[in-house]
Structures are given as C-alpha cells and as structure tokens.
C-alpha cells in the first residue's frame, strides 16, 4: 500500500513525558493516539545458541582498547534523573558549553534553533556579544500561522533584529500542497485500515525467519503531509566552533530536564559546512525541500583518531545515505537512544541486524511510543530489547553508537519527516 510514513512535523513538546496525548499535546501535529495495528500474534523466533549469525557463529568483537579522546571534539551527555522540573538556569554542561562559546566569541555567531524558552543566561550572553561588536545572525521555526512553539522566541527575535524564519517556505509548501492531486487516490491498500484511524496507511511486513511479522500503522487524524519544520539545533562561532546536537535552547533542553546529547567541534572545515547550510536559509531564504544540495567534502578528519561526517536534511537524505548503511554494516553491537523511531526502513535493518547476531538495544520516549507510527512494538515482537523512558522529562536524544566506534547524533528524529522534509543536521 501507500507507505507514506509518519506525519510531516516532528513534535518537540518539552513538558512532562506523560505518554498521554490528551495531557501531553504535541504542538506540531494532531495527537495520533494509540497506534493502530494488525499484527500476527506470534512469538519471536528462538535466538541462535551463540549471539552470532543465524547459523550460531559468534560475531567479531574487537579487543578492548584504552579510551582515546579528541581535543577537537567533545560529547556532552545530560543525565536528567535529578531534575524535578524545567529550569531557567545554566548549571549543566549542555548550557555552560554554549554560554562559554558565546562569551568567548570575537567576530561572528550564526545559529539555527527551533526556538527559545526561558533561557535567560543564553539570551544575556548573546546580548553581551552583540554589545561588544560580534555579528549575530539567527534562524528559527515558524508554523503556517506565523507562530513559534517556544515562548521566549519573540523576545529573542525582537532583541537581535537579525533573526529570520521559514514562514515563506511554509506558505509556499501549503499552496503547492493544495494544488496537488492525491497520488494514491483510487489505490487499493494491501492491508485493512483499522477502524477510526484516518491518517496515511502503512502496510508492513518483516521477515523473522520462520515467521512473518505483519502490521498496519496509521494516525487517528488525517494528515496532508505538509508543514515541515526548521528543526536544526546549531551554533557556529567565529567560523571555527560548532555546537550542535539534540538539545533545544529551552528550560527543558539546555535547562537539563530532558536527556540530550551535545557535540562541540573545534574545526573550521566543519564550521564551513554548517555555514553553507545556514547561508542557504538565512541569505537565500531556502528551507525544507527548496534547499539545494552542495558538494562536500562531507568527511572531515579532525585528528588521527577522529573523523566527522556532516549531513543535512532533507537534501542529503541522511537516513538513507548514512544511518541505514551504518546499521547494515554493524558487526556486533548497536545501542540506540532516540526520541522518535517511526522509520520503517530502519526498523527492517534493526531486525535483520538482530537476526544475524548483532546485539541491539533501544531506548525511546513515552510520548513517542504513543505515536501511531511508532515501531517499538514491532521491534519488541522481533525479540529486540527495547525500553520506554517514562521520567518527568523526555528522552530527547537522537543518537546511536555502532560497534562502540561510531556515534550518530544530531537534531533529526528517526522518521521520514526528519529525513525528507524538515531542516535537520
């Protein structure tokens, strides 16, 4: 059937992670409610005698080596377990790291943020930088009605006067969506639509060896596929430093209430790539699928031990080009911590990796698990260990570690919207 995927807009609701659409509304799309499913009630197939391939061969596992760190790259993790509420403070490294970069800036700051909420120390640092002559330019998200989800965004826009947004691209996409005919009109789906679920229908089938896992996924509300978001989260400082990751500039993001990961990179070549992306949006007004792909080099060698690959959505299709290939090549271990996982191709790759003996472990957020396209039940049915984090804040990371050698991180949820419509890094 028409596997149109999940809703076009990835939510960033930073309130309590209740997992209940009624009490935890998502600002960027209708609450989809409980997933609609038609699944074969079959147990997962037995695992091989060893955690190896389906023939029982143990996978290759490298010998432990001493940890080596790079002076050019820092990974900053936030443990929110001690936080009882969002904070307008700067007492976690997620926040201190960006305030330090802003306070140390000499010439330029470019940022692309989903928005800002109750982060006075980041706001004040930007005002100090502007006062000492640093050129500051910014980009934020706008909905079709011109609003931003975060309550302090308008204050930031008014104070700087150099912040632009994706509103015109939103309007253009809405006009073009109205003019389009439904490409699946009259198409007979290959699976029954669950009663009461009106969104795009996914007909799914996964091979478990001696069994087949079947499912039908849809959202409760009809979706038109429009409404991509400017979901980037990065700062470029003095054409040298890049601060990026899954963290929003909010009391629950940089305030430390959610689980997040930030990467700080000291590399002019990496900064140049982020600046090219920024200029498309800020200077040329190109967002979402109106952006143009640009040539690399995408792979930047930071030092003898560390290499960085930089990709942007939607023009570089990072799930297809990178994430899926890394999962497919995994030799022995995959650890995933992702806010949303609704991508059917990634789901297929994880099931195949599990079947060939790779140790796969997944953590998702409770809010995401309520989405009608969430694949957590399918992964569990395939025998993959998967936990749903249900703390006060959110498990907001978009990260994975492959074979304890490769880290995937950034702003992109593992969804078709994250890869194919939103502005992501």
Q: Helices 93-103 & 120-131, crossing angle to 10 degrees?
A: 10
Would you say 117 and 138 are in contact if contact means Cβ atoms under 8 Å apart?
A: no
Give CA torsion, residues 401, 288, 231, 349, to 10 deg.
-20
Would you say 327 and 351 are in contact if contact means Cβ atoms under 8 Å apart?
A: no
Q: In what order do the strands lie in the sheet with 261-266?
A: 73-77, 261-266, 241-245, 234-237, 108-112, 135-140, 163-165
What value, to the nearest 5°, has the Cα angle with vertex 397 and ends 396 and 401?
160
Would you say 16 and 424 are in contact if contact means Cβ atoms under 8 Å apart?
A: no
Cα(78)–Cα(98) distance, integer angstroms:
14
The one catalytic residue among 217, 232, 396, 423? 396
Q: Helices 120-131 & 153-160, crossing angle to 10 degrees?
A: 0
The one catalytic residue among 110, 231, 398, 423? 398
316 catalytic? Reply is no
As beta bridge partners, residue 243 has: 235, 264
403 catalytic? Reply is yes
The one catalytic residue among 14, 110, 403, 423? 403
Report the candidate in 375, 328, 324, 333 with the shortest Cα–Cα distance to residue 357. Answer: 333
Cα(198)–Cα(219) distance, integer angstroms:
6
- Within 13 Å of residue 387, how many CA atoms lie on the same side as its CB? 9
Would you say 321 and 345 are in contact if contact means Cβ atoms under 8 Å apart?
A: no
Would you say 372 and 220 are in contact if contact means Cβ atoms under 8 Å apart?
A: yes
Q: Peptide bond before 138: cis, by omega within 30 degrees of 0? A: no
396 catalytic? Reply is yes
**Residue numbers annotated as active site:** 396, 398, 403
């Amino acid at each position: 059937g028409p596997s149109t995927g999940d809703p076009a807009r990835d939510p960033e609701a930073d309130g309590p992670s209740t997992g209940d659409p009624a009490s935890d509304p998502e600002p960027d799309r209708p609450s989809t409610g409980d997933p609609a499913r038609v699944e074969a009630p079959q147990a997962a197939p037995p695992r091989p005698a060893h955690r190896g391939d389906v023939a029982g061969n143990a996978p290759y596992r490298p010998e432990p080596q001493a940890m080596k760190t790079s002076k050019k790259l820092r990974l900053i993790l936030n443990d929110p377990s001690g936080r009882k509420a969002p904070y307008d403070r700067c007492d976690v490294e997620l926040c201190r790291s960006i305030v330090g970069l802003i306070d140390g800036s000499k010439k330029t700051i470019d940022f692309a943020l989903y928005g800002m909420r109750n982060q006075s120390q980041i706001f004040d640092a930007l005002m100090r930088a502007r006062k000492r002559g640093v050129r500051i330019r910014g980009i934020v998200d706008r909905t079709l009605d011109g609003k931003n989800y975060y309550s302090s965004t308008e204050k930031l826009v008014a104070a700087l006067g150099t912040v632009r947004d994706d509103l015109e691209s939103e309007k253009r996409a809405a006009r073009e969506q109205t003019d389009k005919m439904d490409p699946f009109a009259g198409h007979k789906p290959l699976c029954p639509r669950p009663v009461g679920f009106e969104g795009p229908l996914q007909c799914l089938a996964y091979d478990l060896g001696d069994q087949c896992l079947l499912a039908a996924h849809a959202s409760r509300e009809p979706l038109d596929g429009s409404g991509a978001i400017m979901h980037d989260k990065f700062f470029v400082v003095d054409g040298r430093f890049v601060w990026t990751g899954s963290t929003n500039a909010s009391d629950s993001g940089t305030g430390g209430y959610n689980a997040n990961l930030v990467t700080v990179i000291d590399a002019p070549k990496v900064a140049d790539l982020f600046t090219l992306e920024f200029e498309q949006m800020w200077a040329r007004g190109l967002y979402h699928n109106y952006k143009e792909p640009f040539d690399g080099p995408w792979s930047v060698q930071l030092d003898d031990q560390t290499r960085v690959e930089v990709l942007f959505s939607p023009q570089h299709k990072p799930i297809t080009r990178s994430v899926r290939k890394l999962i497919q090549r995994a030799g022995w271990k995959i650890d995933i911590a992702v806010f949303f996982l609704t991508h059917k191709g990634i789901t297929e790759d994880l099931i195949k990796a599990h079947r060939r003996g790779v140790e796969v472990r997944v953590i998702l957020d409770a809010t995401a698990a309520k989405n009608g396209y969430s694949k957590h039940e399918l992964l569990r049915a395939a025998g993959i260990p998967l936990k749903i984090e249900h703390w006060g804040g959110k498990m907001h990371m978009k990260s994975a570690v492959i074979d304890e050698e490769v880290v995937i991180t950034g702003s992109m949820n593992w969804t078709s919207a994250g890869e194919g419509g939103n502005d992501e890094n």
